[in-house]
A = this chain, B = another copy of it.
Amino acid sequence: MLDATSSTATQIRHGATDNTGGQHDTTDKAVNDTASPTTPVDDRTGQRIVPETAHSIARRPENRYGNRPTMKDVAARAGVGLKTVSRVVNGEPGVTPDTERRVQEAIEALGFRRNDSARVLRKGRTASIGLVLEDLADPFYGPLSRAVEEVSRAHGSLLINGSSAEDPDREQELALALCARRVDGLVIIPAGDDHRYLEPEIRAGVATVFVDRPAGRIDADVVLSDSFGGARDGVAHLIAHGHRRIGFIGDMPRIHTAAERLRGYRAAMEDAGIPVEEGWMSLGVTDPERVRRAAEEMLSGPAPVTAVFAGNNRVTVTVVRVLAEHARRVALVGFDDFELADLLRPGITVVAQDPARLGRTAAERLFQQLDGSLLTPERIELPTRLIARGSGELPPAD
């Protein structure tokens, strides 16, 4: 089976130009080549005698990448003008049905496809937007990017995306590469905290929306979840169930969302009049191993915490693992929902964001910018939702 498919490969790849289309192509090219009388052609006339330049070799059909028919080729084959082909391809009015048919046939026969690079160059707009996120594989960003893609698609745009891996330099590199591609707009989940590098781009008309975390040192549209309020509610939920010694495990406070969630934790504790002890908080841990150590630490000692608030889904999952091995029952509320949270025993109580809505809102805002219907940058905060599933309702076990 494998051999059979392999053997036909070369025929399909390279063989097809020999008999049918090949003659036509070369004839057309020859006509085209000699048909520019305006230039004072010394090298042109000598072309047959002079040894090949790199250029002429590069122009040989078999060596040229993208040796594709152009509108000129289609026009020649259909016996019409270049612009008429353009009109047909773009569905512009003012072409006789008969002419249109001839052009369509030529397009079909040559396998022509419009070169959008050239089109972009001419028209200015690329009908594509860029998405810079942290990690394509993070389940939180899946729905978010899909939402962006859907809105994008609805506006006839393609989506180019890349991951910054939480590295500010890489974020910048990516964003600027996208700008060089002349994307119409950018949706960015920031890794860094200084985005002044985007100022020339924004000034040049690149629509820009930041999601999940705010932009740094520039004025721009931002779409966020209410991290502060969500965390405060989640911690208050634990307090309402009788907990007083509550731990907090979160990401580096230089990340805005992490800082906000920490602030929410502190606010809830303060509202309840509970002084926070230093050992209850673990900041800046991300990798599972360190989260594990941090959790075990605050669960041991003379006055261990009876509940944990986890700052994001990765932390939550690790804490769930630690608690599963733990004798005493410890309450848990996590920020971010995750699949199967309801299937665990107990189900995991979470403060849920709506990543799809984040993405949708950001993308819609982007296209509003492009419409010109948006005048002032705004900061939009989407609400979070507390989903009680059991783990957050466990009473304190002293």
Contact = CB atoms under 8 A, between A and B. Distances in A.
Interface of A: 1-2, 5-17, 53-55, 57-59, 63-68, 111, 113-118, 120-121, 124-126, 128, 135-139, 141-143, 145-146, 149, 153, 158-163, 176-182, 198-206, 218-220, 222, 226, 229, 233, 317, 320-321, 324, 338-340, 343-345, 356, 361, 372, 375-386
Nearest to A222: B14
A125 B159 contact: no
Give 3 nearest A-B pairs by CB, closest first: A111-B200, A5-B383, A54-B202
> Which among A5, A233, A338, A385 has the highest number of chain B CB atoms within 10 Å?
A5
Nearest to A119: B180
Contacts of A222: 14
A301 to B, nearest CB: 26
Contacts of A137: 142-143, 145-146, 356
A259 to B, nearest CB: 15
Given A128-B160, A379-B2, A179 B13 contact: no
Given A160-B158, A203-B57, A385-B2, A226 B10 contact: yes
Given A1-B386, A12-B380, A113-B201, 4 more contacts: A7-B383, A54-B202, A113-B179, A137-B142
B136 A219 contact: no
14 contacts: A5-B226, A6-B383, A8-B383, A9-B383, A11-B380, A12-B218, A12-B378, A55-B219, A65-B205, A111-B203, A116-B180, A116-B182, A141-B142, A344-B344
Contact of A9 (B53, B199, B381): B381
Contact of A64 (B7, B10, B124, B158): B124
Given A53-B219, A59-B375, A379-B2, A13 B203 contact: yes
> Which among A67, A111, A198, A202 has the highest number of chain B CB atoms within 10 Å?
A202
Nearest to A324: B343
A2 B233 contact: yes
A125 B115 CA distance: 12
Contacts of A8: 219, 383
Given A117-B181, A379-B12, A205 B66 contact: yes
Contacts of A121: 115, 117-118, 121
A239 to B, nearest CB: 14
Nearest to A178: B158
B2 A202 contact: no
